[in-house]
């Protein structure tokens, strides 16, 4: 099978695509089967800079597209098989639907659109066109997740009875707390596709349900602890503040389809002080327990299982395993997609259908928090 030719929407000299997605295509097991052939950015200057930066690493020419017509030109390029969309969530819809309409397979970052309605539209259009949509929920591919899931499925701990998660987002990240970067102020707005619930809780919910199964009921409470945020990198003096309109603290309880009881609390804006726990996941079973824990001092994103390999303890004993890291988790999605393209069975990547399911769960949580009622799923 020939190499899969990749066109990037949103690959510039910096940002998530530059620091995570592009390097994941350079992982040896991925690089042998994929090659980046085109990219599209907002301006001619940024496209030219990106091509100069990445061509040498790829070892072959990369076409540069930009501006309002660039997306259409990239998705219709006959030398692009897979379109990778890595732009802000409010801008997901246009390039994803353009790629689908052109008959191209697509990768899009979670949450695949600014709203549930946009994600559903992507699902419907992809089904109608017969194309694959891979969604960037790589937490389920982490070595930590696999250890937890394998331990539960082995049956040695018996039935899962309950599970509790606590996560804290450090203010050092400059997201969802009392301080924010100027380019990221949109994350405070509901229906941006980038709220604390949609991004942080959304990633964890996919990993959680992948391991323990779906919710049957959910009840949630949320609040805004930091009603304003200071734009710390603004050139204005004094720096401006903005009003926060999306929850930065979320708590939920629920019952899984298996009957297990669940409780979660996610909090943003905390200082990374010594002794504070950034992430704790406990799973109690009939014959023992599983614990995953990360201290706040490991970094501003230390609570994210899709980025970090976290230590796992089974019945109090630390499990030794080889980590995969962020690049390994992303590579697993590309290799899963490749497996399907080769006709070797289901790939194991997160599909657009699964993204819709996850967004429906988030919508139920938000409805419960808003209306003060239990939602049956």
Domain tally, the chain? 2
> Burial letters for 87-98: b for 16+ Cβ neighbours within 10 Å, e otherwise?
bbbbbbbebbbb
Rg (CA), the chain: 21
Instruction: Check residue 39 and give left, alpha or beta (phi > 0: left; psi -120 to 50: alpha).
Output: beta
Alpha carbon separation from 216 to 72, 105, 361, 376 (Å, rounded): 42, 32, 10, 6
330 domain residue, yes or no: no
Mean pLDDT of 185-211: 92
Q: What is the pLDDT of residues 27-63, one digit of tens each?
A: 999 999 999 999 999 999 999 999 999 999 999 999 9
Same domain for 128 and 164, yes or no, is no
| pLDDT over 90, % of the chain | 80
What pLDDT, on a 0 to 100 scale, did the predictor assign at position 112? 98
Alpha carbon separation from 315 to 86, 159, 318, 319, 324 (Å, rounded): 40, 14, 8, 10, 23
What pLDDT, on a 0 to 100 scale, did the predictor assign at position 56? 93
What pLDDT, on a 0 to 100 scale, did the predictor assign at position 276? 80
Query: What H or E segment, with its residue span, contains residue 75?
Result: helix 70-75
- For the chain, the average pLDDT equals 93
The C-alpha angle 282, 283, 284, rounded to 5 degrees, equals 115
What pLDDT, on a 0 to 100 scale, did the predictor assign at position 271? 83
What pLDDT, on a 0 to 100 scale, did the predictor assign at position 314? 98
328 domain residue, yes or no: no
Same domain for 100 and 249, yes or no, is no
* CATH classification at residue 219: 3.30.360.10
Q: Which residue has the higher pLDDT, 68 or 302?
A: 68
Residue 294 has pLDDT above 90, yes or no: no
What pLDDT, on a 0 to 100 scale, did the predictor assign at position 22? 98
How would residue 157 be classed by pLDDT, with cut points 50, 70 and 90?
very high
Same domain for 18 and 88, yes or no, is yes
Walk across the sheet containing 179-180 and list its strands: 179-180, 228-231, 241-243
Residue 298 has pLDDT above 60, yes or no: no
Same domain for 153 and 272, yes or no, is yes
Residue ending a domain, among 136, 158, 190, is: 136
Residue 301 has pLDDT above 70, yes or no: no
Residue 373 has pLDDT above 90, yes or no: yes
Nearest residue to 176 via CA among 192, 196, 159, 158: 196
Same domain for 214 and 74, yes or no, is no
Same domain for 129 and 271, yes or no, is no
What pLDDT, on a 0 to 100 scale, did the predictor assign at position 54? 97
**Which residues make beta-bridge pairs with 220?**
252
- The residue behind tokens 């200082």 is 271
Mean pLDDT of 290-315: 78
Q: Are 247 and 190 in contact (CB under 8 A)?
A: no
Residue ending a domain, among 136, 160, 183, is: 136
Same domain for 206 and 296, yes or no, is yes
- Residues of the domain holding 34: 4-136
Residue 174 has pLDDT above 90, yes or no: no
- The residue behind tokens 């929850």 is 247
Same domain for 246 and 304, yes or no, is yes
Residue 150 has pLDDT above 70, yes or no: yes
120 domain residue, yes or no: yes
Mean pLDDT of 223-233: 93
Cis peptide before 111 (omega within 30 of 0): yes
Residue 323 has pLDDT above 80, yes or no: yes
What pLDDT, on a 0 to 100 scale, did the predictor assign at position 209? 98
Number of C-beta neighbours around residue 170 at 10 A:
24
Residue 277 has pLDDT above 90, yes or no: no
Mean pLDDT of 107-128: 98
What pLDDT, on a 0 to 100 scale, did the predictor assign at position 190? 81
* CATH classification at residue 111: 3.40.50.720
Residue 116 has pLDDT above 80, yes or no: yes
Quick check: helix, strand or coil at residue 242?
strand
Q: What is the pLDDT of residues 340-359, one digit of tens each?
A: 999 988 878 999 999 999 99
Residue 212 has pLDDT above 70, yes or no: yes
How would residue 309 be classed by pLDDT, with cut points 50, 70 and 90?
confident
Residue 373 tokens read as 């009622």
């Amino acid at each position: 099978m020939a190499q899969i030719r990749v066109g990037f929407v949103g690959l510039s000299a910096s940002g998530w695509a530059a620091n995570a997605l592009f390097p994941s295509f350079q992982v040896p097991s991925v690089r042998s089967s994929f090659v980046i052939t085109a990219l599209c950015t907002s301006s001619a200057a940024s496209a030219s800079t990106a091509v100069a930066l990445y061509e040498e690493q790829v070892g072959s020419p990369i076409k540069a597209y930009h501006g309002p017509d660039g997306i259409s030109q990239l998705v219709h390029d006959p030398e692009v098989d897979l379109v990778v969309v890595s732009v802000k969530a409010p801008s997901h819809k246009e390039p994803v639907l353009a790629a689908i309409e052109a008959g191209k397979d697509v990768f899009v970052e979670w949450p695949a659109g600014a709203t549930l309605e946009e994600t559903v539209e992507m699902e419907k259009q992809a089904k109608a066109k017969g194309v694959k949509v891979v969604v960037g929920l790589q937490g389920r591919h982490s070595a930590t997740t696999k250890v937890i899931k394998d331990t539960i499925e082995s049956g040695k701990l018996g039935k899962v009875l309950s599970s509790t998660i606590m996560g804290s987002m450090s203010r050092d990240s400059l997201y969802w707390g009392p301080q924010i970067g100027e380019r990221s102020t949109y994350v405070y707005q509901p229906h941006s596709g980038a709220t604390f619930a949609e991004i942080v809780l959304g990633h964890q919910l996919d990993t959680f349900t992948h391991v323990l199964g779906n919710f049957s009921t959910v009840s949630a409470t949320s609040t805004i602890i930091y009603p304003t945020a200071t734009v710390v990198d603004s050139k204005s003096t004094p720096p401006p503040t903005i009003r926060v309109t999306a929850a930065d603290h979320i708590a939920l309880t629920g019952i899984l389809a298996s009957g297990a009881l669940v409780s979660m609390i996610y909090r943003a804006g905390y200082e990374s002080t010594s002794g504070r726990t950034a992430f704790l996941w406990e799973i109690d079973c009939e014959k023992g327990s599983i614990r995953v824990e990360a201290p706040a001092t490991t970094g501003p994103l230390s609570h994210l299982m899709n980025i970090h390999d976290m230590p796992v303890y089974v019945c109090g004993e630390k499990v030794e395993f080889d980590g995969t890291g962020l690049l390994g988790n992303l590579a697993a999605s590309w290799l899963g997609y490749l497996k399907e393209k080769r006709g070797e069975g289901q790939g194991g990547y997160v599909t657009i259908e699964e993204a819709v399911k996850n967004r429906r769960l988030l919508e139920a949580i938000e409805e419960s928090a808003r209306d003060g009622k239990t939602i049956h799923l």
